[in-house]
Structure 1
Amino acid sequence: MASTITEFDHLKIPLETILETTNNFDDKNVIGEGGFGKVYKGELWRSWRYEKISARRLDRKHGQGDVEFWTEISALSVLDYYCIVEMIGFCDENDEKIIITGYHYIKGSLSMYLGDPTTFSWQGRLWACETIVKAISHIHGESRRAFSFIHRNINSSTILLDKNWKAKLSGFEFSIKHSLDRKNLGIHSEVIGTQGYIDPTYLMTGSVTHKSDVYSLGVVLFEILCGRLAYNPNEQDDKKFLAPLAKYHYEKGTLHDIIHPEIWNQVARDSKKKMRFEKISKIAYSCLNKEREQRPDMDQVVHELEDIVNALSSDYEGDGTDSLDASDIVSVEESKSVVESTMSNSEKALSSDYEADGTDSQDALDIVSVEESKSVVESTMSNSEKMCQIKRVTLSDVNGKFLM
């Protein structure tokens, strides 16, 4: 363990600092609790400014310990991506084990918003779907990396949403890191996951692969599409689990029977929205295939979701409809007032340049003049990535229930 600690020395944060940040772990600062323990909010002086953070404090009574603690640190320290939680540091002192991640502009876990189609509208759900699949594709491996991760606990509580409904994947304490060239080989392990999301083949055989994560993704996509939780103990027996229920209704062509009425109202009245709903439901259904080999690769899923979201952006550029709610108020005619108001509000100054290189938000906007406003707004509207990317932040492990 000493070598492990040395390897991550640059991420250590003194316990004294965390106690000050969380006001001695005051219950008033608790923002969640899961299988790892309670999660506290706070502010940490970092890079010459205070940053909002979340502190996950290990509580061994839940059954987790050193292995899970170091597994998460090992994963987050190398997974630097805008759709994944930002690792800030950790504390391993006086028998305290605490993981610190960013907490800027986080709205909460996906599970909190599934049944709220007014706040979490159809447009926001599309952005969430796209960024979730990008996060999973990233952890499954890229050509420039020699290793890959299997998450093993993808669910709507380990996925968090920022103010633009972009997803942040967290909860890596059960992840498995292995060689990229062995990506498609099964790994035998203790079955770990969250009820309603676990690959049935993994449950039966104890063998887990990247396609087990793909199955969990299928469940999450149907949660988003239907506005329902993966498991609801209060439902009738044949409706408790969303995965088999969604598969049945997809095959019968009756998905609308299990969708939140308001979500369906948002989709059914617009042919383009309905077409996108059908495309995403087809992806979700393919992810739930009983045969692992028949489930899609994540690269394929990313490509299909990007096409859907890019088409949504193109629609907006053409007629100003069917766009992310936050951008509906922007038109070229209104660009002068929009840019001026943006320039005066540092909360909204996280432009794509700022996100990319970390420059001060005010500096990023000082160059924008009213005369340039038309081109600024048009370029913003035409690039969905730059519209909604924000600095990587998240809270992890909120309200997760684990099966061991």
Structure 2
Amino acid sequence: MSLLKGSQHLRLSLKEVELATKNFSEPIGKGGYGMVYKGELPISGRPTTVAVKRLNETSGQGLKEFLTEIQLLSGQNHKNVVSLLGYCDEGKEKSLIYEYAANGSLDVHIKNRDTSLNWRKRLEICLDAARGLNHLHSNSKNKQTIIHRDIKSANILLDQNWVAKIADLGLSKLNFESSEGSSIVSNACGTPGYCDPGYYNGILKKECDVYSFGIVLFEVLCGKLCSPYPNKDSSFFFLSGPSVQKYYKENKMKEIIDPCLKEQMSSYSISKFSEVAYKCLLKDERKRHSMNDIMRVLEELLFILSMRSKRALGFGDYIGPDEIYDPNELSTLDPEPPLQFQTPVKFVREGEMHTVSPTITGTFMPTSPHLDLVESQIETGNKSTDLPDSSNEDESSRLH
């Protein structure tokens, strides 16, 4: 096929595919296009487990998608976009060979309420997927970017190390970067519930993918899959774009998050994560986050989580330059008054004083270049007991 001229290095014979799959003997999945089989191919001289998606020639589906995936994936090289390792178009045979995702797709883990999917792992998966989608949106070739058009948890695959990868680019579209950054499409496609409502008007933009990604974020937070056609029973929560927006606006997100996450998440994490997911769904797509914006928020939440630790603070304790604590995870050794933390923290530079409210107060400063913070140590004090050599300041925090 002339359309595949630039992908000939990935072409395999039917005999090679049959050998790799032991004659298609181990099915691991099924779709409208046909079956997916597990196999093994020598890659760079090493036996490598692969997934082989085989087009069902009698289905009448998938030829266009088959060609699209080869064209788009053969030019991609990103750890968070599934790798195409080969294809076969010999005679009537149409097969695509991908890297194998040992932990399957994200939707299965959400549907099965997988308890091993803790908050940290969910954040990492979301960040991985955001990076993969951002790569498609921003890695332009000849002033063209890729709009996925079918972002959903079923199209986010997880490898043996739980690294998430964007998959199934069969419906994707190369988009010329015009001043509007949009394309006119006559055949709106995708999965009901995940599709941006504005997309059905025939206008395709990167923001359509952002909307779909917002639905995935809410699925991860709530531990529920999207329900495009909710039951009329109002006593039961069905996850959809309108329903999660309603709960967010009414400040009731804690009522619908996955119960197993409640002990793992701080109020700040719930607020920040639900906010970024909500902004993906805004009706005015100009106000939606870009994938780069989403990445930054997820990176911040993961950074804070990675540094969280229970710790009791007494008067005169300091937090060193490599320590950061979520305010909700700190306690005081002094029973009265209670330890309080001001958030967001007022950034104080070395040698400056910071006056705060009349109670035992702490301040924390992460050492992270992308947050533009300085490495510092912080003392805590209160108005009833002066800091050493503090010249009787009211409650203060001093940086060394």
The two structures have a TM-score, normalised by structure 2, of 0.73
2:256 counterpart residue number? 258
Match of 2:84 in 1: 87
- Alignment match, 2:241: 243
Match of 2:283 among 280, 286, 290: 290
CA contact (8 A) 1:41 1:55 kept: yes
Residue aligning to 1:78: 75
The residue that corresponds to 1:127 in the other structure is 124
Task: Give the whole-Å Cα distance in 2 for the aligned partners of 1:96 and 1:137.
Answer: 33
**Per-residue deviation, 1:310:** 2.3
Mapped pair 1:311 → 2:310:
no
How many Å apart are 1:187 and its aligned residue?
Answer: 2.4
- Alpha-carbon separation, structure 1, partners of 2:221 and 2:142: 33
Partner Cα separation in structure 2 for residue 255 and residue 109 of structure 1 = 25
Q: TM-score, normalised by structure 1?
A: 0.72
SS at match of 2:182: coil
Opposite residue 10 of structure 1, the aligned amino acid is H
Tell me if the contact between 1:11 and 1:90 (Cα under 8 Å) persists in the aligned partners. Answer: yes
> Is the Cα contact below 8 Å between 1:196 and 1:241 reproduced in 2?
no
Distance verdict in 2 for CA 1:235–1:123, change over 3 Å: farther
Distance 1:202 1:64, change over 3 A: same
Q: CA deviation at 1:240?
A: 4.2
Higher radius of gyration, 1 or 2: 2
Q: Which amino acid aligns with 1:283?
A: V
Higher helix share: 1
Q: Which has the higher strand share?
A: 2
Contact 1:227 1:263 in 2 (8 A): no
- Which string of whole-angstrom CA distances, capped at 9 and with x for unpartnered residues, describes residues 52-79 of structure 1? 0000001255552321111011111112
Judged with a 3 Å threshold, the aligned counterparts in structure 2 of structure 1 residues 161 and 30 are, in CA distance, closer, same or farther, namely: same
> CA offsets, 1:41-98, max 9 Å, x none?
1111121110000000012555523211110111111121010001101000120110
Task: Indicate which of 106, 113, 116 corresponds to 1:110.
Answer: 106
Question: What CA distance in whole angstroms lies between the structure 2 residues aligned with 1:150 and 1:242?
Answer: 22
Quote the residue 1:393 is aligned against. none
**Matched letter for residue 308 of structure 1:** L
- Equivalent residue for 2:4? 5
Q: Select which of 273, 290, 296 maps to 1:280.
A: 273
Provide the rounded CA distance (Å) in 1 between the counterparts of 2:110 and 2:151: 15
Shift of 1:112: 0.9
Q: State the partner residue of 2:358.
A: none
Is 1:55 paired with 2:52? yes
Change over 3 Å in CA distance of 1:237–1:201 after alignment to 2: farther
Cα distance change on mapping 1:248 and 1:234 into 2, 3 Å? closer
Alpha-carbon distance in 1 for matches of 2:229, 2:264 = 28
- Pair 1:17 & 2:13 matched: no
Deviations 1:350-387 (A, max 9, x none): xxxxxxxxxxxxxxxxxxxxxxxxxxxxxxxx9xxxxx
| Preserved CA contact (<8 Å) 1:117 1:263 | no
Partners of 1:183 and 1:19 in 2: how far apart? 46
How far residue 241 of structure 1 moved from its aligned partner, in angstroms, is 4.4
SS of the residue 2:52 aligns to? strand
Q: Which has the higher contact order (CA 8 A, sep 6+)?
A: 1
> Equivalent residue for 2:155?
158
State the 1:319 CA deviation.
8.0
Give how far 1:21 is off.
1.6
C-alpha RMSD of the superposition: 2.6
Looking at structure 1, the residues matched to 300 and 139 of structure 2 have their Cα atoms a distance apart, in angstroms, of 20
Corresponding residue for 1:230?
Answer: 226
**Aligned residues of 2:219 and 2:239 also touching (Cα < 8 A):** no
Distance 1:202 1:41 in 2: 35
Q: Distance in 2 between matches of 1:45 and 1:309?
A: 36
Paired residue secondary structure (1:191): coil
| CA distance in 2 between partners of 1:259 and 1:306 (Å) | 20
Alignment CA distance shift 1:209-1:118 (3 Å)? same
| Partner residue in 2 for 1:325 | none
Paired residue secondary structure (1:177): strand
Residues 256 and 61 (structure 1 numbering): CA distance in 2 closer, same or farther, change over 3 Å?
farther
Equivalent in the alignment of 1:68: 65
Select the residue among 210, 217, 223 that pairs with 1:214.
Answer: 210
Taking the aligned partners of 2:18 and 2:42, their CA distance within structure 1 comes to 13
Is 1:34 matched with 2:27? no
Q: Is the 8 A contact 1:83 1:167 kept in 2?
A: yes
Q: CA deviation at 1:141?
A: 1.5
2-side partners of 1:5 and 1:31: how far apart?
A: 27
Q: Counterparts of 2:233 and 2:288 in 1: how far apart (Å)?
A: 27
Secondary structure of 2:50's aligned partner? strand
Percentage identity across paired residues of the two chains: 36
Does residue 168 (structure 1) correspond to residue 161 (structure 2)? The answer is: no
What is the CA–CA distance in structure 1 between the aligned matches of 2:35 and 2:253, rounded to whole Å?
Answer: 37
CA–CA separation in structure 1 for the residues paired with 2:27 and 2:285: 39
What secondary structure does 2:4 align onto? helix
Q: More deviation in 194-203 or 224-233?
A: 224-233
Unaligned stretches of 5+ residues in structure 2: 310-321, 327-367, 369-400
**What is the distance in 1 between the residues matched to 2:92 and 2:43?**
25
In structure 2, what is the Cα distance between the partners aligned to 1:230 and 1:236?
15
